[in-house]
Amino acid sequence: MPEVGSAPPVGRSAGGAPEGVRPGRPVDPAGEIPLLRRLWSGGHLLPDGASGGPAHPLIRLLGRWVRRPLLPAARLWRRNIQLRVVATTLLMSLGVVLLLGLVVIGQVRNGLLDAKRHAAQGQAAGGFQVAEQMADRNSAGRSGDGADARGRVGQDAASWLNQLVEQLASGGKGAYSVVALSSASGDTPRVVSRGARVSGDVKQDSVPAGLREKVDEGRTTPYEQYGRILHRRSTKSEAALIIGKRLNDNHGDPYQLYYLFPFTQEEKSLSLVKGTLATAGVFVVVLLGAIAWVVVRQVVTPVRMAAGISERLAAGLLQERMKVTGEDDIARLGEAFNKMAQNLQVKIMQLEELSRMQRRFVSDVSHELRTPLTTVRMAADVIHDAREDFDPITARSAELLWGQVDRFESLLSDLLEISRFDAGAAALEAEPIDLRDVVTRVVDAAEPLAEAKSTRIVVRGAEQPVMVEADARRVERVLRNLVVNAVEHGEGRDVIVRLAAAGGAVAVAVRDYGVGLKPGEATRVFNRFWRADPARARTTGGTGLGLSIAVEDARLHGGWLQAWGEPGGGSQFRLTLPRTAGDALRGSPIPLEPEDSRRNLASGRGAEATGAPGAASREGAGERLAAVPAQPKSALSGADLPRLPGGAGLPTPTADPTALPGNGARVVPRGAAQGTPPAPGPRPGAVDTAVDRAADTAADTAHTTSTEREGRPRGR
């Protein structure tokens, strides 16, 4: 126990107070923080040295187990600003209240202790004085008796001490106790035998030994110390201030007189103050939390409202507005927001109106142009039918008129179709259809043209149904376009229509072996009014919009229309549609570049022999050069093989559902492709041209890109 000098400074007495005086002392959290921190940071409890390897599974499990219930809370914490502010306010006000409480309690205790000590010191000084006076008086009264009276004096001294203690103690019932002890220094051996005198049921052990020694040494100075009063009849003790002094009794023998002042009253006062402070503190914290909640609510509610309304605005509910009350910042936010929403709504409505007018205009133009065109067309027909009766010039004019009216008509209808796409007025009417039926119809319709060009149209992959959710009218239009184009540019060679389905996609590829496409043309073919060669004669007089419309049709389905071609090696157009309308495409069942492309034929043999067609074209140049001409896999009879200028057979493109090549937008490294050796054996007629065209071919494939990525074709 700490000792206090005779006049200890006030500040020290607080710090040096015995622990029993402060039962409500907060527990020092320092011992727990490292553990918590480790739990938070690492999620495991291993000491740092042991965490070198992966954490023990059990500990990881424990960490997860601890963290899992925390995750929703953490998410709420991140997302809810109100919760954050209220929690922070609560924590901070709790800290402030605790600090305040500690300071106030410290002050109060110091004040109480000081007052008590002053009172006690006064009381004790008075008591000591009385004891000295009594001793003096007694010794003065007996001085005449002489030395013979000495034997009686010992008894007298004991009873005198008894009397003294009782007299002194009677002055302060409960406020203090008095203890008289023999002086340990023992100037006279008699004194040792003298017993202790104690008032009430206080144990004489209450006076600490250290104090007794000091009192003995101090002779005449009073000493004080904080200690505890022990009771004889009960085990409970109470904190007290003990003041002691060495005095001489009526015989002039020294003894020690102690005053013990219990802090009962002070402790009561202090606990009352603590209770009051705690109650007030709890109220303050709770109230502050509530206030923070209310205040934050005032700010957060409009913000949340604004957020909700912006979401609804974004979802297209343009008439949504914030409720504005008052003139504060929140109201200004609301007004600004509403103004923005208003402007947005007006703009969008203007745009919608424009779009509506555009569509209306297109529709009106359509009607206004079509009616006279119908008359012209019928008149042209009548004249055309009667042309045999005319002179040759008029008859030829009638033919020209008839033909050009036809062309004008298809141009008009294509233009209207395009403008319908542009206006966003095109609607998809998807229903489950079998692509084979569509292909059959398209091929049947193209048969007359194919016969005129002495071209055969071969359909592959039509062994089983190819079901897809699509707009039959549009798909048919696309395929008709592709097939007619292929026949027209196929130069009399076979046109192969391939069907395949795999994963969530179906595809139709139309392959021709005609003039093909120059580098870069694979994307340009879809541009409006684009023509492969402006100098070339327009034999069939397409409108130049067919492929643009086809791309739009494919896009409406969420599908792809892509082109591949090599100069002189023909081209392939591939339509890929999601099997279920609205699904996203991830790949196509048919590779965009056919297996029988010159490049694949020249380089892909080795890989093809190992059963990985298509993959070879993406390998390095080394493998390509090392490619060994092998017998091409042919799944079909020779009769089905396309007739080529050289007359030799080709490896037939078989529908390989596993060959999902992605979007076809692959880029072939130029350097690698230039190392391509000339096309081997099977196409002797092409060998002479293959060498100088190999580079072109590679470049062209590199230009083969997905039309989906390019967005709308140019020329809007």
Partner 1 sequence: MKGRVLVVDDDTALAEMLGIVLRGEGFEPSFVSDGDKALAAFRETKPDLVLLDLMLPGRDGIEVCRLIRAESGVPIVMLTAKSDTVDVVVGLESGADDYIVKPFKPKELVARIRARLRRSEEPAPEQLAIGDLVIDVAGHSVKRDGQSIALTPLEFDLLVALARKPWQVFTREVLLEQVWGYRHAADTRLVNVHVQRLRSKVEKDPERPEIVVTVRGVGYKAGPS
d(CA 372, CA 381): 14
Cβ distance to partner 1 smaller for residue 429 or 688: 429
Contact residues for 318 (Cβ-Cβ < 8 A; gap 6+): 341, 344, 345, 348, 349
Q: How far is the CB of 549 from partner 1 (least distance, A)?
A: 14
- SS3 call for 589: coil
Q: How many residues does the chain have?
A: 716
Cβ distance to partner 1 smaller for residue 56 or 370: 370
Near partner 1 by CB under 8 A: residue from 26, 52, 146, 372: 372
370 contributes a contact to partner 1 by CB under 8 A: yes
Q: How far is the CB of 437 from partner 1 (least distance, A)?
A: 8
389 contributes a contact to partner 1 by CB under 8 A: no
Got the DSSP string for 490-526?
TTTS-EEEEEEEETTEEEEEEEE-SS---TTHHHHTT
Cβ distance to partner 1 smaller for residue 132 or 583: 583
Got the DSSP string for 121-186?
HHHHHHHHHHHHHHHHHHHHHHGGG-GGGHHHHHHHHHHHHHHHHHHHHHTTTTT-EEEEEE-TT-
Binding window for partner 1 (CB under 8 A); candidates: 423-431, 571-579, 631-639, 644-652: 423-431
Q: How far is the CB of 526 from partner 1 (least distance, A)?
A: 24
Task: Select from 553, 583, 588, 708 the least CA-distant residue to 659.
Answer: 588
Near partner 1 in 468-527, by CB under 8 A: 472-473
Q: How far is the CB of 482 from partner 1 (least distance, A)?
A: 18
d(CA 664, CA 90): 61
Contact 342, 324 (CB under 8 A): no
Q: How far is the CB of 580 from partner 1 (least distance, A)?
A: 13
383 contributes a contact to partner 1 by CB under 8 A: no
Cβ distance to partner 1 smaller for residue 100 or 373: 373
Binding window for partner 1 (CB under 8 A); candidates: 22-30, 290-298, 360-368, 695-703: 360-368
Near partner 1 in 429-468, by CB under 8 A: 429, 431-434, 437, 441, 445, 467
Q: How far is the CB of 377 from partner 1 (least distance, A)?
A: 5
Contact 256, 216 (CB under 8 A): yes
DSSP symbol at 326: S
Cβ distance to partner 1 smaller for residue 433 or 698: 433
- SS3 call for 363: helix
d(CA 309, CA 540): 57
Binding residues for partner 1, how many (CB under 8 A)? 30
Near partner 1 in 619-648, by CB under 8 A: none
Task: Select from 155, 156, 195 the least CA-distant residue to 179.
Answer: 195
220: left (phi over 0), alpha (psi -120 to 50) or beta: alpha
Cβ distance to partner 1 smaller for residue 434 or 656: 434
Task: Select from 689, 623, 657 the least CA-distant residue to 502.
Answer: 657
Angle in degrees, 0-180, between the axes of helices 472-489 and 546-556, rounded to the nearest 10: 140
Binding window for partner 1 (CB under 8 A); candidates: 81-89, 232-240, 364-372, 699-707: 364-372
Binding window for partner 1 (CB under 8 A); candidates: 259-267, 370-378, 545-553, 677-685: 370-378
Q: How far is the CB of 559 from partner 1 (least distance, A)?
A: 19
Cβ distance to partner 1 smaller for residue 366 or 654: 366
DSSP symbol at 207: S
357 contributes a contact to partner 1 by CB under 8 A: no
Binding window for partner 1 (CB under 8 A); candidates: 233-241, 246-254, 367-375, 527-535: 367-375
Q: How far is the CB of 588 from partner 1 (least distance, A)?
A: 23
d(CA 172, CA 357): 108
Please measure the distance between the N-terminal and C-terminal CA atoms of the chain and give it in whole angstroms.
Answer: 96
Near partner 1 by CB under 8 A: residue from 61, 76, 379, 636: 379
Question: Binding residues for partner 1, per CB under 8 A?
Answer: 363, 366-367, 370-379, 381-382, 409, 420, 425, 427, 429, 431-434, 437, 441, 445, 467, 472-473
